[in-house]
Each structure stands twice: as C-alpha cells, then as structure tokens.
C-alpha cells in the first residue's frame, strides 16, 4: 500500500479514535465533537480525501433531512394530546394491578414508537407512567426501564421508527449495487419478532431483574436525601428580619433560600413574596448545613431541630409553590448551563433543590453546577413555571400533581384531545403510506407531511423547529463524512479484514452474530448514530469480500446499533429514565445485558432465515 494511502488511513483512524474518546467521556457535547470532525476532515483533506464540500455533505444528506422532518411530524401528533389521553386509558386498564401496569407500558409503547419517533414518545410517557405507578402502588423504577426498552424495540418496526434505520437506508443506497435504500416495511417482520421476544423478556425475566430503586409513595425530601439541607427556623422578636419582605430578606442571605413562610396555619411561598416577616413566623429554608448555621446566627432565628421538613411541609398549608421533579432533555437549552446563570430564580421563581445524575446526588454548590442532559432536578417552583417548562420542552416535568396544578378548568384525569388529532394522525400515516408505496422518496413525503401539518394548523412553525433535537442533527451531519473518509482512505476495508479473518474460523452466520454483538456493544458506549456510520461500511465491505449477503450484514449492523440496552448512555431514552427511576449503572447491565444477548441470537437467526447470509 503506498505511503500516501497508509498515512491517510492513519489520520482517519486517529480521528475516529479521538471521536470515540470524546463521545465516551463527553469532554465536550457530542454535537460539538461532530462539528470538530467536519472541520478536521476538511483541514486534513490531503490525507482524508474529504474536501470542504464533502465534509459538510451530511447537512444535505437525505437521511438528515428526513430525520428533521420526522421529529416535526412526531411533534404534530404529540401536540394533539392523543398520547396523553392514552395515559387515562392505561390507568383504567390496569385497575390497580402492578402486572397490568407493566403490560400496558410495554405493549403500548412499542407499537407507537414504530411510527412516532421514540424519544418524544418516552418524554410524553414518563409522567404518565410515573402516575400509573402511583395509582397501582408500584415503584416507578419497575416501569420506567421497561418503558425505555419497549420504545427502543418499537423503533425496529419501520423505517421511520428511529434515525438509525433512516441512515442505514441511505447507506444501502450508496454502498450496495442495485439497491435504492430500504423499504418502509421491508424489515418489519423481523422487527415484530424482536418486539415480541423483547416484550416477553420484559414481562418475565426482566420483571424480576428490574429493581425497585424508588420506594412506593416516596417522599420527595427523602428520595433526594435532603433532610440535612432543609430546616425550619422560627423568627425571634429581636431578629433583623422582622418587617422585611420575604424577597428582601432572602436577598440579604444569598447562601440560603427561603422557600416558605408559615404563620397561624397559613403558608406563603418564598422567596419572591412581598409578605412582611413577623416575630414567631416559621421559615422553611434550603442550604448546606454550614450555610444554614451561619444564617441562624446572622438572621436572629431559632432552629426547630425536632421538626423535620418533609414533602407534607410544602403541601400543608397550601401555597402557590409546588415541589416538582423534572428531567433535562438532550435538546434543552438548559443543558450545559450553570444553574446560577440559567435564570431559574430570576425569571421562573424556581429553586433547584437537588440534582440526581447517573446515580449520584448533588445537593451542595448547586448554583455553580452545570446541568447535563438526563439530569433529574428537584424543583421548588410555581404552576405557571411548570406550564412554561412543559410548553417549551426545556424540562420534562415528571409529577402529575405539578402538571395538573396549572390546568385550570381542564380535568387532569381526562386531558383534552385536539379536534385536529385525526387529521394529524392521518397526515403521519399518509407519509408512511406514500413512502411505503414508493410514490415519493421518503424525504419528500416527510417534508410534504410537515407542510401539511403546518398548513392545517396541527403544528405551528415555532413548535416544528422546537421539536427537532438539533444536537442529534449536528451529530448526524458531522459523523456522516467520517464514514466517507473511511471509505476513501481504505480504512473501512482495513477494519473489514477482521470480519474476513473471522470468516476463516467461523461459518458466515457466526461472523454475522459476532458483528451483531460487537456493533451492539459499541452502540451502548457511543451513540447509535455514530456507531452505524462507522459499522455499516465495514459490514458491507466485509460481506462483499466474504462472498456473503451484503444486505444481511447491513441489517445486522442496523438492528444492533438500534437496540442498545446495556448502558444508560448509549441510547437517549435510557438516559431519560435514568434519573426518574433512581437507577444505578449496573441496573442497565443486569437487565439490558441478557436482553441484548437474547436479541443478538434472535436477530442473527432471523436475518439468516429471511434474507440468507
């Protein structure tokens, strides 16, 4: 191999290695890493073979545009309220049974995720499933992990089920002669088998392996272990606080936050209230032990040590404030923001009391903490702010009580469904039908569906843009050129040598199984989108050199990358349930590991039977 080509392969492999390290460690956000890849590929064109035009080609790739459109179409259906109404039907079906709740969770999420992007499905379902757990006296932990896994399985049903399928279709068009992508329902048969097998596992073995990390009817204060960070303080007569408003008094003590004032059986939400403080008032304050002790001395208040603060402290007496748990979604504008600079206190009268992140509880130095996607926040907030967070999608509010607090005349037990719901669902199904019948390319059908959604009032343009996970789009557009570079420099062929070597000691079906397992494990460590870009060129090239079915190997890489269960970081829906379920990293290994191995066996066998190797 000429020196120039060897150097090119080395450079591209170095970029792949750096990208993998960045994806795993998240030193910078993944979308920023992807943009860095685009820049590096263009700058290093003499070695990578990818010029500036090719480096940015991912932004114009049909798969990228299709995924943007599908995010918007999913939002159009979600906005009608039809999925929220489904939560009422689920509650009626379960009739207080824990097993029925699990059946309802798994058997509804999967099919819906086959046509609606599974990430917004899980975002909508998390509050519903949490409420369902409460109604059935069940730990939410036992339902939320199956929710995520069922949504992932549902993504294997159709071409539009998940972004990896759409991307795989584009690779099939580019890499396999005579193929014009993948049909809408071409692999649905195998997807149904995987969904049925996975659902059976979740309802049996998985049910016993899934831990109940969050106790049934858990007190929010104890759930976040905040007993030492909340205190009741009685205002003494000589206190300098007497006569000051809650807001003015709170501003004088920045290390603590006054959350509530209690007086003669009445309560006033702090710290923005203008209510003047009087002697013998009781204040509920939040801060570190050291800050609370300094506050006690400086403010002239007495610590009521024998009266612990619980969730009931905030609910009785009733005030306009509410406790709420909220998830930071991946496309939230708060992701990466330091709490003190996010404007919670100033603009939304909201205090972040604690953060649950990857099994870790953060309760001190919260104002200086940068928020991350997947964080579960315990908030002291207002109904109006809950509505704002819910409308913008910047936070996913988990608790039904907090969400129903702003509903006004709307019955929280029967959320409204827009009259345009049949129209929105019809447009989505029309897009699927047009693409399935090959009347139009899927990218054009999806864009036409977005136009129809907006033109008919099912979706506003602002909501359409807000619905897109732009970080995922930038990630996708950034890693696609990396796949091109692997092909241009011969890097994909070099990695395909491993498959060819395996073919010397294993039958073709064994090589297919090894590929399925390896790709699934890689997708559990980095994103499925990045995995499929790296894996499919290798899979197709290796199959061609083995004389095997190239499409079968492509499908193995596609299914494996779309079904990553072993870690909470590989798939976005796993990250979304991580905090609300109170899970530990090992829970995903314990429940998802056997499931991933089981589906690798079933998936490999299904591909071999249906398409041959």
Domain covering 227-308: architecture? 2-Layer Sandwich (3.30)
| pLDDT at residue 403, as a whole number | 56
Among the residue ranges 89-98, 199-208, 272-281, the one predicted with the least confidence is 89-98
| pLDDT at residue 608, as a whole number | 96
Average pLDDT, the chain: 86
> Distance between CA 399 and CA 128 in Å, rounded?
9
> Distance between CA 542 and CA 540 in Å, rounded?
5
Rounded (10°) CA dihedral 375, 378, 383, 384: -50
Residue 279's alpha-carbon distances to 2, 96, 236, 253, 363, in angstroms, are 86, 48, 6, 18, 30
| pLDDT at residue 3, as a whole number | 44
Q: Which two tokens stand for residue 380?
A: 């002291």
What is the arithmetic mean of pLDDT over 225-246? 90
What is the arithmetic mean of pLDDT over 469-474? 83
Question: What is the distance between the terminal CA atoms of the chain, rounded to a whole angstrom?
Answer: 30
| pLDDT at residue 280, as a whole number | 92
Checking if the pLDDT of 490 tops 90, the result is: no
Pair 582, 141: CB distance under 8 Å: yes
Checking if the pLDDT of 410 tops 70, the result is: no
Q: pLDDT tens for residues 278-330?
A: 999 999 999 888 888 899 888 889 988 888 888 888 877 777 788 889 999 87
Tell me which residue of 282, 268, 285 sits closest to 320, measured CA to CA: 268
| pLDDT at residue 2, as a whole number | 47
The listed range with the strongest mean pLDDT (1-10, 113-122, 495-504) is 495-504
Q: What is the C-alpha R_g of the chain?
A: 26
Q: Hunting for tokens 């918007």 — which residue is that?
A: 72
Pair 115, 428: CB distance under 8 Å: yes
Pair 186, 97: CB distance under 8 Å: no
Q: Hunting for tokens 């399985």 — which residue is that?
A: 153
What is the arithmetic mean of pLDDT over 81-97? 73
Taken in order 330, 332, 334, 337, the sign of the CA dihedral is positive
Q: What is the DSSP string of 106-155?
A: HHHHHHHHTTS-HHHHHHHHHHHHHHHHHHTT--THHHHHHHHHHHHHHT
Task: Give the CATH superfamily of 322-404.
Answer: Regulator of K+ conductance, C-terminal domain (3.30.70.1450)
Q: What angle do CA 442, 447, 452 make, to 5 degrees?
A: 120
Among the residue ranges 16-25, 425-434, 453-462, the one predicted with the least confidence is 16-25
| pLDDT at residue 415, as a whole number | 60
Checking if the pLDDT of 32 tops 60, the result is: yes
What is the arithmetic mean of pLDDT over 341-351? 89
Q: Which of 5 and 297 is assigned the larger pLDDT?
A: 297
> Distance between CA 25 and CA 97 in Å, rounded?
41
Q: How confident is the model at residue 77 (pLDDT cuts 50, 70, 90)?
A: confident
Residue 355 backbone phi and psi in degrees, to 5? -130, 130
Checking if the pLDDT of 250 tops 60, the result is: yes
Is 74 exposed, middle or buried, given 0-12, 13-18 or 19+ CB atoms closer than 10 A? buried
Cβ within 8 Å of residue 495, ≥6 positions away? 486, 538, 542
Calculate the CA 403 to chain-centre distance.
Answer: 20
> Distance between CA 300 and CA 527 in Å, rounded?
53
| pLDDT at residue 205, as a whole number | 95
Among the residue ranges 136-145, 303-312, 332-341, the one predicted with the least confidence is 303-312
Query: Could you tell me what percent of the chain has a pLDDT over 90?
Result: 34
> Distance between CA 413 and CA 364 in Å, rounded?
37
Domain positions in the chain are 64-216+420-470, 227-308, 322-404
> Distance between CA 80 and CA 133 in Å, rounded?
24
> Distance between CA 438 and CA 528 in Å, rounded?
27
Output the pTM of the full model: 0.86
What is the arithmetic mean of pLDDT over 348-371? 88
- Judge whether 227-308 and 322-404 match in fold: yes
Q: pLDDT tens for residues 107-125?
A: 988 998 888 878 878 888 8
Checking if the pLDDT of 93 tops 50, the result is: yes
Among the residue ranges 86-95, 156-165, 275-284, 381-390, the one predicted with the least confidence is 86-95
What is the arithmetic mean of pLDDT over 413-418? 67
Residue 111's alpha-carbon distances to 143, 185, 472, in angstroms, are 17, 14, 23
Q: Hunting for tokens 């179409």 — which residue is that?
A: 73
Pair 120, 74: CB distance under 8 Å: yes
Which residues are 245's β-sheet partners? 276
Checking if the pLDDT of 502 tops 70, the result is: yes
| pLDDT at residue 154, as a whole number | 94
| pLDDT at residue 409, as a whole number | 40
Strands of 266-269's sheet, edge to edge? Answer: 266-269, 257-263, 282-286, 230-235, 301-303
What is the arithmetic mean of pLDDT over 506-529? 91
What is the arithmetic mean of pLDDT over 159-163? 88
Q: Which residues of 310-344 are buried (b: 16+ CB within 10 A; e: fewer)?
A: bbebbeeeebebbbbbbbbbbbbebbbbebeebeb
């Amino acid at each position: 191999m000429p020196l120039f080509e060897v150097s090119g392969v080395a450079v591209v492999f170095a970029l792949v290695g750096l990208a993998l390290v960045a994806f795993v460690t998240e030193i910078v956000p993944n979308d920023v890493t992807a943009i860095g890849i685009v820049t590096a590929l263009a700058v290093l064109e003499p070695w990578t073979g990818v010029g500036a035009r090719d480096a940015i080609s991912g932004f114009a790739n049909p798969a990228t545009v299709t995924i943007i459109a599908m995010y918007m179409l999913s939002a159009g259906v979600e906005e009608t309220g039809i999925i929220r109404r489904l939560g009422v039907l689920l509650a009626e079906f379960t009739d207080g049974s824990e097993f029925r709740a699990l059946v309802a969770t798994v058997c509804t999420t999967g099919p819906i995720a086959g046509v609606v992007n599974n990430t917004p499905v899980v975002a909508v379902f998390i509050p519903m499933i949490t409420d369902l757990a409460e109604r059935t006296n069940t730990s939410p932990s036992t339902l939320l992990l199956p929710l995520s896994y069922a949504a992932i399985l549902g993504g294997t049903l159709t071409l539009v089920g998940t972004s990896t399928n759409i991307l795989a279709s584009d690779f099939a068009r580019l890499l396999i002669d005579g193929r014009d992508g993948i049909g809408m329902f071409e692999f649905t048969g195998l997807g149904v088998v995987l969904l049925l097998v996975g659902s059976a596992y979740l309802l049996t073995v998985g049910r016993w392996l899934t831990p109940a990390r969050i106790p049934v009817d858990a007190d929010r204060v104890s759930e976040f272990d905040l007993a030492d960070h909340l205190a009741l303080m009685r205002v003494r007569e000589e206190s300098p606080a007497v006569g000051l408003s809650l807001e003015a008094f709170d501003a004088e003590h920045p290390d603590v936050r006054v959350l509530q004032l209690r007086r003669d059986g009445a309560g006033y939400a702090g710290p923005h209230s203008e209510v003047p403080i009087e002697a013998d008032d009781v204040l509920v304050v939040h801060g570190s032990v050291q800050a609370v002790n300094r506050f006690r001395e400086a403010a002239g208040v007495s610590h009521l040590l024998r009266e612990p603060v619980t969730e009931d402290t905030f609910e009785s007496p009733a005030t306009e404030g509410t406790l709420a748990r909220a998830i930071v979604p991946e496309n939230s504008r708060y992701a990466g923001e330091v709490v003190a600079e996010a404007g919670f206190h100033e603009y939304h009268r909201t205090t972040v009391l604690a953060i649950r992140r990857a099994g870790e509880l953060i309760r001190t130095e919260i104002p200086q903490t940068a928020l991350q996607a997947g964080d579960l926040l315990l908030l002291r907030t207002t109904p109006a702010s809950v509505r704002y967070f819910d409308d913008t999608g910047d936070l996913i509010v988990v608790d039904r009580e907090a969400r129903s607090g702003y509903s006004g005349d709307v019955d929280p037990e029967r959320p409204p469904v827009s009259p345009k719901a049949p129209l929105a669902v019809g447009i989505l199904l029309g897009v699927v039908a047009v693409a399935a019948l090959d009347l139009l390319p899927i990218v054009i059908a999806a864009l036409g569906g977005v136009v129809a959604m907006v033109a008919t009032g099912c979706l506003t343009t602002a909501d359409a843009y807000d619905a897109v996970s732009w970080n995922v789009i930038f990630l996708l557009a950034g890693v696609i050129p990396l796949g091109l570079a692997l092909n241009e420099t011969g890097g994909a062929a070099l990695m395909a040598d491993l498959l060819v070597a395996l073919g010397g000691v294993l039958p073709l079906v064994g090589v297919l199984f090894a590929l399925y397992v390896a790709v699934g494990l890689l997708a559990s460590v980095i994103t499925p989108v990045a995995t499929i870009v790296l894996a499919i060129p290798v899979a197709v090239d290796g199959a061609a050199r083995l004389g095997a079915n190239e499409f079968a190997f492509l499908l193995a890489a596609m299914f494996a990358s779309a079904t990553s269960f072993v870690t909470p970081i590989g798939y976005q829906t796993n990250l979304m349930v991580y905090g609300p379920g109170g899970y530990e990293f090992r829970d995903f290994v314990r429940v998802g590991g056997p499931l991933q191995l089981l589906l690798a066996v079933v998936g490999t066998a299904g591909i071999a039977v249906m398409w041959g190797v």
